[in-house]
Chains A and B, each alone.
Chain A
Amino acid sequence: METQMDNAAARVPAASWAWIWQAITGLGLVVLLALHMVAQHFVAEGGIRDYADVVAYLRNPLIVVLELLFLITVTAHALLGVRTVLFDLGLSDSAEKRVTQALWGVGVLTVGYGFWLTWVITR
């Protein structure tokens, strides 16, 4: 009985981290999205209208940090959400593993792309 219990406990990985991160990033987004909108419309006076405005906007280092933080958070939240939806399709254990790995890849690429784009514009 005891060994059976030990084995079972060892077999099931805690699935809570995904939910907890989803909640944390979700709450983070409420704040960051508001800042994202406010910053774009009010920090850049009259809103960001053309390319010159974009470059000017990103010259503020605080804005760059804010925007990149926003990108990381929104990507994490979005991909965790996609992961949940895919898992609810009733995938096999190995498919679940592959989905998680693939989404990590997509996430890294997305954030990397954001960093690269910021670098190209502000360079």
Chain B
Amino acid sequence: MSIQVSLKAFRYQAGSKPRFERYQVTVPDDANVIDVIEAVWSQHDRTLMFRHACHHASCGTCAVRLNGYEKLPCIVSVKEALAGREEMVIEPLRNFPLVGDLVVEVVSFFQKQAASGMVITREAEPSLDGQPYQRSEVFAEDGTLDDRPYNRFENCIECGICISACPTMSATDKFFGPAGLAAIHRAIQKTDDHRQKSWLLALADGEQGVWRCHSAFECTEACPQNVNPAEAIMALRRELIANKVKKLMRG
């Protein structure tokens, strides 16, 4: 069954004024919001710029503000988006330079992510179900058997939602931001190298580090992947303060 959906989308093209445009599109009744955006593109305007790739919350490209709040439209149903309202409102993320329409420039985000050196894959950990991932015997390159733990991609999909939700990021770019600091925290957890660890801690303690966070917790609230960046920031602070106290005690 198909339904008619009304939406108001933010439009902007370099050299002209930003504006809102209203659309009516037809989508299946079980569609998600990304399907609505795509329908605007295919049914009304092929010049609409929006980001999307995987449609299952893994690529992290499609993040927008839906009815004001940061969401991944690929995992929000039309029904949810229209709960208690006549039309949905779709805007680009905050705190990023605007390229056009719903597309923002995410270069600064990836640079901050790269600062931690955290790679995208993580060693296996207990899954969400509490079932442990078990060690398996897998094939080595030469075809012989090789003992190796399972691995998987990090939970953070680098969608930029936390940056958009963070009030501190609204006025300053000199801050690693929630995802950047969560990545530093993950990188510290992953490494056994003492020097690497203290280097990462110094990074977190630096002028772009954890002390620029003022406890709004919007990142954790908005994160679609339960990364909980705020907790990572506070864990880093606790460790930094504990280290300082220890140093003081030792004189």
Given contacts A12-B206, A14-B206, contact A89 B171 (CB under 8 A): yes
Q: Does B31 contact A (CB under 8 A)?
A: no
Q: Point out the residue from B196, B207, B244 that lies within 8 Å of A15, measured CB to CB.
A: B207
Is the CB–CB distance between B174 and A90 below 8 Å?
yes
Given contacts A90-B171, A90-B173, contact A8 B241 (CB under 8 A): no
* CB-defined contacts of A91 to chain B, threshold 8 Å: 174
Look across to chain A and name the residue whose beta carbon is closest to the beta carbon of B243: A16
Measured as residues with beta carbon below 8 angstroms from the partner, the interface class of chain B is 20 to 34
Q: Does A9 contact B (CB under 8 A)?
A: yes
Q: How far is the CA of A11 from the CA of B205 in the complex (A)?
A: 12
Given contacts A87-B172, A88-B212, contact A5 B196 (CB under 8 A): yes
Q: How far is the CB of B207 from chain A (nearest CB, A)?
A: 5
Q: How far is the CA of A89 from the CA of B175 in the complex (A)?
A: 11
Number of A-B contacts (CB under 8 A): 57
Q: How far is the CB of A6 from chain B (nearest CB, A)?
A: 8
Q: Interface digits, B192-234 against A, CB 8 Å rule (1 contact, 0 not)? A: 0001101100110111110110100000000000000000000
Is the CB–CB distance between A5 and B206 below 8 Å?
no
Q: How far is the CB of A101 from chain B (nearest CB, A)?
A: 16
Is the CB–CB distance between B241 and A16 below 8 Å?
yes
Is the CB–CB distance between A88 and B199 below 8 Å?
no
Is the CB–CB distance between A88 and B206 below 8 Å?
no
* CB-defined contacts of A5 to chain B, threshold 8 Å: 195-196, 199
* CB-defined contacts of A52 to chain B, threshold 8 Å: none
Q: Does A19 contact B (CB under 8 A)?
A: yes
Given contacts A12-B209, A90-B171, A91-B174, 9 further A-B contacts (CB under 8 A): A5-B199, A8-B202, A8-B203, A16-B237, A16-B241, A16-B244, A18-B211, A20-B241, A90-B173
* A interface residues, Cβ below 8 angstroms from B: 2, 5, 8-9, 11-16, 18-20, 84, 87-91, 96
The contact sample of 10 A-B pairs, CB cut-off 8 A, is A2-B195, A11-B206, A12-B207, A12-B209, A15-B205, A15-B207, A16-B211, A84-B214, A89-B171, A90-B171
